[in-house]
Structures are given as C-alpha cells and as structure tokens.
Amino acid sequence: MKNNFLEKLLTFSFLLGSAPVLADEKPIIQSNLPSFELAANAAEIKKLIKCEAKLRTPPDSDDEVELIFTESWGVPKYAYNDPLTKIIEDEYSDEVVSEDCQGVNKEETEKSLLAIKSTYDIKFKVVENRPIIQSSLTNFDRAIGTSAFRKGLECQRKLPGSSLKDANLEFILKAHLVLRGQKNSIKMSEFNDPLTKLITDNYSDDVMGKDCITLDPDALQRTLNPIRYNYDIRFNIKPKSKEINFFPLEGIK
C-alpha cells in the first residue's frame, strides 16, 4: 500500500514538473595525472618558480620560466600543463607562497584544494605498468622525514674522524631513538620501509649539506618528484599505533 502511494506521489510530482532531482552535476575535469596529490604538487612548484622569477633583477621572462619548468624539479612537463594543475594554480591565492618564495602556506593550500574538490568532478588517468611500492607508512611526508634522518646518519658516518664510521647503521638507529626517548614515535620497520629505502637510495650527493643536517630543498624535490610520478605508492591507511610529529633531524652527539 505504501509503495502504491509513493508511486502515485512521484508520478504526480513528475506531471507537475517538480519531480525530485539530484543536485546540479559538477563540472568534469579530465586530468592526465594519476592522482590529485601530483597535480597539487606541480601547481605548488609552478607558483614557487614564478615567484622566484619575479624576485630576480631583471625578472625572468616567460620563456625563461618555461625553461625552468622543463629542466628542473624532476616533474614531467605534462604535469605542469595538466588541466587540473592549472585550475589549482589559478585557485591558489598570493598568500600561498612565502615572501622569500621558498615555501608554501599549508593552511592556504588546503583551503584551495578543498574548494576545488567540492566544486569539480575530477577524473584521473589510470597509468599502466607503474611499479607498485607497498609502504607501511601512512603518508609521503613520513617517508621523507624517515629517509632524511637515515641519510643524515649515513652522512655522519663518512665524516673525517667520525666515531660512527665502522658502526652498524641499524644499531646506530636503534641507539639514537632510545637515547632521545623517541622509541614510540618511529619504528625500525619505518627505516626499512620500501618507500623510505627507495627515497634514501635516490638521494643525490647534493641533497644533504656538509653538516649532515641541512637539506637542500631543490635537490630534495629532484629526488622526490620522479618517485611520486613513476611509482604507484600505496600507503597504510589504518595505522596500528598513534603517530606523533616527526622529531627534528639532528646529529648524534
């Protein structure tokens, strides 16, 4: 009986031209990238490069800026020209990039990214045959922090007169975590994670400063971006233990 009543109600509504309808469909954006994160990454880099170009005297021409896009940062050119990348770049306000053009305001970028996600129906390209990296970590930033710390220790072992020269790296990592009281914030499995190892192995010689602490941001991006684009990275989305902020990269004293 209820079904008959509902059927009549819907029929009557339709005849009146007021049948229930779905909300307006979102505009479709067909991206050539496999994920939203890669488009956001390319858009951030474009903003940073354009910002730096304006600081130079005289400012870089559009052609010079375009050359920078094709020769640095390890991002394929198609990513910079992707429709989604362009929309994100246009959505970013001037407050996104710092005054010295060396970083971005994460709160501002998040606002822009959320607005875009809620406005558009974004379709991504399925990239075939990308090697799969199954990580035990929950995000890419965690892998960067872990690999940077590991790289810093490896760097210190090579310093002249270092007491760590002949020490086993795994033993050093365990001892340092315990001494700093950080044994609950990061596990040895994270140092040995496939993604951590992949990043560490691909660091160029100019990534780590001579002090074995400072990271060069440009060299770091040249390491990370090819990994982002060339691998299908899958994270552990349900961490077994609560994470805390990654501790500062500091040398063993």
Average pLDDT over residues 8-26: 46
pLDDT digits (tens, 9 = 90+) for 39-84: 998 899 888 888 888 888 787 777 777 666 665 577 888 888 899 9
Q: Name the more confident of 100 and 174.
A: 100
Please check whether residue 41 is in contact with residue 35, taking contact to mean a CB–CB distance below 8 angstroms: no
Residue 136: how many other CB atoms lie within 10 Å = 18
What pLDDT does residue 83 have? 95
Q: Please, which pLDDT band fits residue 7 given cuts at 50, 70 and 90?
A: very low
Percent of the chain at pLDDT above 90?
Answer: 22
φ, ψ for residue 173, nearest 5 deg = -60, -45
Range in 66-80, 93-107, 185-199 with the lowest mean pLDDT? 66-80
Average pLDDT over residues 161-178: 64
Please check whether residue 139 is in contact with residue 235, taking contact to mean a CB–CB distance below 8 angstroms: yes
What pLDDT does residue 253 have? 34
Q: Which of 45, 60, 149, 34 is nearest to 96 (CA)?
A: 45
At 168, list the tokens.
């086993």
Average pLDDT over residues 160-164: 72
Q: Residue ranges of the domains in the chain?
A: 28-123, 132-234
What pLDDT does residue 21 have? 40
The separation between CA 106 and the C-alpha centre of its own chain, rounded to angstroms, equals 12
Percent of the chain at pLDDT above 70?
Answer: 70
**Residue 237, CA distances (Å) to 83, 166, 168, 231 in order:** 28, 37, 32, 18
At 224, list the tokens.
């990370």
